[in-house]
Amino acid sequence: MTDETKHDIMRATYDALCRHGYANLTMQDIADESGKSKASLHYHYDSKHDLLAAFLDYLFEWFTERMETALADVDDPVDRLVVVIETALAPPDDEETPHSEFQTALLEIKAQAPYDDAFRARLVEFDHFLRDRIHAVIQDGIERGTFREDVDPGDAAEFIVSATTGARTRHVAVEHRIDRTRRSLETYIGTWLLADDAEAVRLG
Amino acid sequence: MTDETKHDIMRATYDALCRHGYANLTMQDIADESGKSKASLHYHYDSKHDLLAAFLDYLFEWFTERMETALADVDDPVDRLVVVIETALAPPDDEETPHSEFQTALLEIKAQAPYDDAFRARLVEFDHFLRDRIHAVIQDGIERGTFREDVDPGDAAEFIVSATTGARTRHVAVEHRIDRTRRSLETYIGTWLLADDAEAVRLG
């Protein structure tokens, strides 16, 4: 399969998930979005499950590349932490409003994880990548004197991942405004993490 | 319907959700757990959806009563905040290990919320009850000099609700250990909120 074919199928999967959700999604729905036949999708992927597992791999690759690109020219530890959190909170398509439909489909997939080893393994990759990235940024910030010495980077990283994950769950389930959690995270970084807590932190 | 009948049906619904999850749940599954006939369930509830909406109401009532009971004899603001967070994090059955199956079913229901007004309205009740309780406890703690004056109780409450919600999502999706988030919350309360940050906070 060419990169372009793969990209087209993945984009169609994304669009189909937004339109139909996870539970009711069929290969035909994905075929309809892609302009390809169902048979040609089955040529590349044995089942809907295989395709969705490949989609999660693709999403992970996209997410990590996006993170590395966003971090590439950023040196200050506070700015780096803000970039990581923004990337974790922001919708995949960079639009101003969060892409609620996709977040909903992703939450459906998360609720399947206990029954599905392939999905769970991929979600663990996302979770640990984010946690480890945050851990590294905070560790570096402590060493450079930007963050307080008594901060435990492991605890802080788990906390931030839980808060960003929870903000996204609440956005889907109770229409929570992501901005509310964003503002709390600013305060958290400014008050808890910063060695000099006079400095204000702005996210977004 | 007597209170006892209602309690039996609600308990059966809880057990059936744990055993079958939300997506595949049938009225027959609930009937099987209750020892009643499917017809007698339909006598009280028109549909599975009605029964599940009533179940969420029951769960909310149970949750709020549990919270008020736990708070009844607790005066110190730090202890009160710990009680609220513990109640939000702890499994419904008070066993030592979190009741993963039920958490999974609840996450499935959360992912349905955008498509289901009745579910969403009930989930909003849970979310806002928890947020408002935390807000009130922190506000009281600030007025009594236990918590720092410069803490914004609204921001802090949103943050704590996001963190506890996220810990539960991660528990389902990636087998996150709730204890990790619990420990971060201790540090958070001890470092960010407490007016005298020498005092240690212990949750659990």
pLDDT, mean of residues B20-40: 94
C-beta separation of A19 from A27 below 8 A: no
* Residue B173 token pair: 């999706």
Q: Which residues of B touch A170 (CB under 8 A)?
A: 127, 161-162, 165
Instruction: Give which of B92, B96, B21, B23 is closest to B62, Cα–Cα.
Output: B92
Compare CB distances from B181 to A162, A172, A192 and report the shortest one's residue: A162
A110 pLDDT band, cuts 50/70/90, is very high
- Residue B184 per-residue DSSP state: H
Interface size A-B, in CB pairs within 8 Å, comes to: 149
CA-to-CA dists, residue B42 to B30, B47, B51, angstroms: 11, 7, 9
Say if residue A134's pLDDT is above 60: yes
Instruction: Give which of A163, A164, A155 is closest to B163, Cα–Cα.
Output: A163
The pLDDT assigned to B200 comes to: 54
Compare CB distances from B159 to A104, A108, A181 and report the shortest one's residue: A181
Chain-chain contact of B165 with A170 (C-beta, under 8 angstroms): yes
The pLDDT assigned to A129 comes to: 97
Say if residue A93's pLDDT is above 70: no
Say if residue A3's pLDDT is above 60: yes
Considering only alpha carbons, which residue of chain B is nearest residue A181?
B159
CB atoms closer than 10 angstroms to residue B190 = 17
Q: What are phi and psi of A147, to 5 degrees?
A: -100, 155
pLDDT, mean of residues A7-27: 94
First to last CA, chain A: 38
Say if residue A94's pLDDT is above 60: no
Tally: H helices and E strands in chain A: 9, 0
3-state secondary structure of B23: coil
Quick: pLDDT tens for B143-170: 999 998 989 999 999 999 999 999 999 9
Q: How far is the C-alpha of A130 from the C-alpha of A126, rounded, in Å?
A: 6
Please determine, for the modelled complex, whether the ipTM score is greater than 0.95: no
B97 pLDDT band, cuts 50/70/90, is very low
Helices A153-174 + A77-89 axis angle, to 10: 30
Say if residue A182's pLDDT is above 90: no
What is the average pLDDT value for chain B, to the nearest integer?
Answer: 89
Instruction: Give which of A31, A100, A33, A91 is closest to A62, Cα–Cα.
Output: A91
pLDDT, mean of residues B53-65: 95
Compare CB distances from A123 to B128, B174, B191 and report the shortest one's residue: B174
The pLDDT assigned to B121 comes to: 98
pLDDT above 70 as % of chain B: 92
Q: How far is the C-alpha of B142 from the C-alpha of B152, rounded, in Å?
A: 10
pLDDT above 90 as % of chain A: 74
A91 pLDDT band, cuts 50/70/90, is low
A97 pLDDT band, cuts 50/70/90, is very low
pLDDT above 90 as % of chain B: 74
Task: Calculate how close chain B gets to A4, using CA atoms only, in Å.
Answer: 31
**Which of A2-11, A112-121, B173-182 shows the lowest mean pLDDT across its residues?**
B173-182
Query: Which strand (E) or helix (H) includes residue B102?
Result: helix B100-112
Say if residue B94's pLDDT is above 70: no
Task: Calculate how close chain B gets to A5, using CA atoms only, in Å.
Answer: 30
The pLDDT assigned to A198 comes to: 41
CA-to-CA dists, residue A41 to A34, B84, B169, angstroms: 9, 50, 32
Place of tokens 């984009």: A11
Q: Which residues of A touch B180 (CB under 8 A)?
A: 155, 158
Task: Calculate how close chain A gets to B176, using CA atoms only, in Å.
Answer: 9
